[in-house]
Each structure stands twice: as structure tokens, then as C-alpha cells.
């Protein structure tokens, strides 16, 4: 099987006043061309750091990639030059951030901004680039009459549509969306997600959807990776992961979703706190919160194991030795 993206043993640290933060620790992740992956975990689990590592945007210092490989289309991005990374970013891999204004320039009209991205990665004239810009705006549901407007003239949801148009303008092989709808209100969220789903189908772009919302993942993604304390603890197709989760943390995540049909049902929060990333627990990082913890969980780190075909987990309950 030919993978679009294959992350092997990625580790990323940050040096902070409080100590060394192990933001990502021995992370494994695979994605096939055109596939959509939900990347789920609590705040601080290392989802965004992973995305920034793929984009070559970890600034050193304070960040440092200390180990691993990020193989994209057969090449290790961690060995690519800054010049090569510049052509990958926005070209073959595009990213959408939570706050659309992070990606928009307030003093340039939206058609010019899309055209700039097209010109940066393609051999076309300015005129052709502007034509593509208007087409892309129409694809995301913005009428051509509004192409010459500035970002502040658009609502939050419309701004995020512009960002999506910029991201897709170069027809990337991989789109990374980091909580793209969190800043929007609920009805607009649903519209933007619906749009992303349509576009994913239309452009056959592989998608990594970073979120803490299992509902969003259920709606959009084929595969799911559950992240805890800097590593992926479980990875599988959506159905087996939702119906038969294997890792105690994943089981806890599903139990913590309130039952919308039952007012009496209270949120069953996973007991204990998210670990301090400057001082991760020894052994399995989940052991202080795990109801199944055994003696070895305190000292040994569980291996990444294919417990069932295509269903991977890092937990001694599912490791054969
Ligand atoms: Fe729990 Fe041990 Fe599995 Fe970690 S390895 S999740 S502590 S049972």
C-alpha cells in the first residue's frame, strides 16, 4: 500500500521556563492518498505540534524535532531544505487554522490573496491566477462580485470559506484543518463542515481534521487517531474505533460524551488530570488515570501493536508479550 504520509517515531520538545515540554513522543501515523483522518485529543495532547511539524513550522528554538521521520510522497520532510519546504507548504500541503485571520492579510483583497498563492506555486500569468481565484471563491460559495472585497468585509464563516479557497487553490495532496470551525457559531460550523466534506470529495484531497469533537470526526472522517500525552494511543477505521474502542483512554472519551436524549445523564469525565507535559508519568503516560493499570504500566511503555487487522493500539491489555 502506497502511503501519502507516514510518520514514524516523531518526537518534538520545547524548552520553556518550566522545563522541557515533551509535546510529541514517539508518534506513529499513516495516511493514504485521498483519505480523511480525524486527529482527536484534549488540548495540549500534541495535535497542533504534529501538524506544525508536518508543515515544517516548528521554530527552533524553543522547539526541536528530536527524533523520527515524516515521509510525505516518499520523501522525508525532516531532511528537506527550507526552500523545498516553502514549495511544499501551501502547494502540496495546505493548512487551515482555527482563526481565519491568522491566514488572511487584512490589507489585500481576497482575490489578490488567492492569486498570490496560485502564482507562488504555479507557472501562470497574473491574469490567469486572478481567474482561478474567482473560480475558487465560487467553489466555496462566494459570489464573484465580492472577489475584490477585503477580509473585514466578510463574516467569520465567510472568512473561513476564503481561507479554504486559498488552501485548495493549489490543489494540495494533503489538507490539514486545525479545529477549523471552533471559532464559528454552531449553524455556521455545520455549513463550513458540509462545504469541507463536499470539497474533499470533489478534489480528492487527503484530510487531517484536528479536533476534540468526536461528532465532527464521525461526520467527516474515514480513519481516526486518538492522541494522548504526545502520542497516538489508538488508530483504526472509524467504525471499529467507535464500536469497539480498545484503549482505556478512548473508552473513557466515549463515556464522557453526554447523552443528549437524557437530561439525567451527567458528563462522565475521565478521572484525574491531563498529565503535565514537563513531567510526563513513567511507563504508560495514561497509568495514573487508568482503571486497568497493572504493575508494568508504571515502568514500561506499551508498544505500538496491531491488535486486529488495521486496528493499532499502545496498551498492555492488547500487547501479546
Ligand atoms: Fe492502562 Fe496499562 Fe493500558 Fe496504559 S498500558 S492504558 S495504564 S492498561
ipTM value for the complex: 0.99
- Our mutation pick for probing the ligand 1 site, out of 275, 297, 299, 301, counting the most ligand atoms within 8 A of Cβ, is 297
CATH architecture assignment, domain 5-92+170-318: 3-Layer(aba) Sandwich (3.40)
Nearest-atom number in ligand 1 for the CA of 316 is 5
pLDDT of residue 185: 83
Which atom belonging to ligand 1 lies closest to the Cα atom of 287?
A: 7
Query: Ligand 1 centroid vs 70 CA: distance in angstroms?
Result: 27
- Give the Å distance between the CA of 293 and the centre of ligand 1: 5
The residue ranking higher by pLDDT, 81 or 275, is 81
Question: Is residue 1 very low, low, confident or very high in pLDDT (cuts 50, 70, 90)?
Answer: low
213 is written with which cell numbers? 469533537
Written as nine digits, the cell of 82 is 527550507
Residue 144's pLDDT is what? Answer: 94
Confidence class for position 71, pLDDT limits 50, 70, 90: very high
pLDDT band with cut points at 50, 70 and 90 for residue 293: very high
Q: pLDDT tens digits for 220-241?
A: 899 999 999 999 999 999 999 9
In the DSSP assignment, the letter for residue 145 is G
Q: How far, in Å, is the centroid of ligand 1 from the Cα of 284?
A: 6
Following DSSP, what letter does each residue of 49-100 receive, concatenated? HHHHHHTT---TTTEEEEEEEEEETTEEGGGS-HHHHHHHBTTTEEEE-SSG
* DSSP state at residue 43: T
For the cut 50, the answer to whether the pLDDT of residue 31 exceeds it is yes
Pocket probe mutation, ligand 1, options 234, 246, 248, 307, max atoms within 8 Å of Cβ: 248
Domain positions in the chain are 5-92+170-318
Set of cell numbers at residue 35: 483519505
**Sheet architecture: strand order including 63-72:** 19-31, 5-16, 63-72, 75-76
- Residue 130 pLDDT exceeds 60: yes
Ligand 1 center from residue 212 Cα (angstroms) = 21
Sign of CA dihedral 123, 129, 135, 140: positive
Give residue 138's pLDDT. Answer: 92
14 lines ligand 1 (CB under 6 A): no
Q: Is 228 in the pocket of ligand 1 (CB under 6 A)?
A: no
Distance in angstroms (rounded) separating the CA atoms of residues 228 and 117: 35
Does pLDDT of 283 surpass 60?
A: yes
Determine the distance from the C-alpha atom of residue 299 to the mean position of all C-alpha atoms in its chain, rounded to a whole number: 30
Question: What does the pLDDT read at residue 275?
Answer: 81
Q: Does residue 287 line the site of ligand 1, with CB under 6 A?
A: yes
CA of 77 to the centre of ligand 1 (A): 32
Which tens digits make up the pLDDT trace of 142-177? Answer: 999 999 999 999 998 899 999 999 999 988 999 999
24 CA to middle of ligand 1, Å? 19
Query: What pLDDT, on a 0 to 100 scale, did the predictor assign at position 190?
Result: 86
Element (DSSP H or E) covering residue 169:
none
The C-alpha atoms of residue 109 and residue 148 are separated, in whole angstroms, by 5
Averaged confidence pLDDT in the chain: 90
Q: Which of the two residues, 103 and 35, has the higher pLDDT score?
A: 35
Q: Given this model, what pLDDT does residue 65 score?
A: 96
Q: What confidence score (pLDDT) does residue 183 get? A: 78
pLDDT confidence tier of residue 321, bands split at 50, 70 and 90: confident
pLDDT band at 43 (very low <50, low <70, confident <90, very high): confident
Q: Looking at residues 94-110, what average pLDDT do you find?
A: 90
Phi, psi of 264 (to 5 degrees): -80, -20
CA of 191 to the centre of ligand 1 (A): 39
Amino acid at each position: 500500500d502506497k502511503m501519502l504520509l507516514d510518520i514514524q517515531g516523531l518526537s518534538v520538545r520545547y524548552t520553556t521556563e518550566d522545563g522541557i515540554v515533551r509535546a510529541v513522543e514517539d508518534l506513529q501515523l499513516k495516511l493514504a492518498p485521498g483519505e480523511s483522518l480525524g486527529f482527536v485529543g484534549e488540548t495540549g495532547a500534541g495535535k497542533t505540534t504534529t501538524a506544525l511539524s508536518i508543515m515544517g513550522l516548528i521554530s527552533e528554538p524553543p522547539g526541536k524535532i528530536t527524533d523520527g521521520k515524516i515521509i510525505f510522497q516518499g520523501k522525508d520532510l525532516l531532511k528537506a531544505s527550507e526552500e523545498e519546504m516553502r514549495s511544499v507548504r501551501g502547494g502540496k500541503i495546505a493548512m487551515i487554522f482555527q482563526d481565519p485571520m491568522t491566514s488572511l492579510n487584512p490589507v489585500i483583497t481576497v482575490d489578490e490573496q488567492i492569486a498570490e498563492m496560485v502564482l507562488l506555486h504555479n507557472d501562470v500569468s497574473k491574469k490567469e491566477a486572478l481567474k482561478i481565484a474567482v473560480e475558487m471563491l465560487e467553489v466555496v460559495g462566494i459570489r464573484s462580485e465580492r472577489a475584490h472585497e477585503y477580509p473585514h468585509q466578510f463574516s467569520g464563516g465567510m472568512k473561513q470559506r476564503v481561507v479554504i479557497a486559498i488552501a485548495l487553490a493549489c490543489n494540495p495532496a494533503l489538507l490539514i484543518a486545525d479545529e477549523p470551525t471552533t471559532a464559528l457559531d454552531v449553524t455556521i460550523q455545520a455549513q463550513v463542515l458540509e462545504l469541507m466534506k463536499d470539497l474533499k470529495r470533489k478534489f480528492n484531497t487527503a484530510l487531517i481534521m484536528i479536533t476534540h469533537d468526536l461528532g465532527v470526526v464521525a461526520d467527516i472522517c474515514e480513519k481516526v487517531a486518538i492522541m494522548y500525552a504526545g502520542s497516538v494511543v489508538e488508530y483504526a477505521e472509524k467504525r471499529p474505533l467507535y464500536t469497539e474502542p480498545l484503549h482505556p483512554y478512548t473508552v473513557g472519551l466515549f463515556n464522557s460524551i453526554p447523552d443528549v436524549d437524557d437530561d439525567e445523564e451527567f458528563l462522565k469525565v475521565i478521572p484525574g488530570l491531563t498529565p503535565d507535559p514537563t513531567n510526563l508519568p513513567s511507563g504508560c503516560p495514561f497509568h495514573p488515570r487508568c482503571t486497568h493499570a497493572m504493575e508494568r504500566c508504571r515502568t514500561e511503555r506499551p508498544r505500538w501493536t496491531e491488535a486486529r487487522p488495521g486496528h493499532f493500539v499502545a496498551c498492555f491489555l492488547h500487547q501479546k508479550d
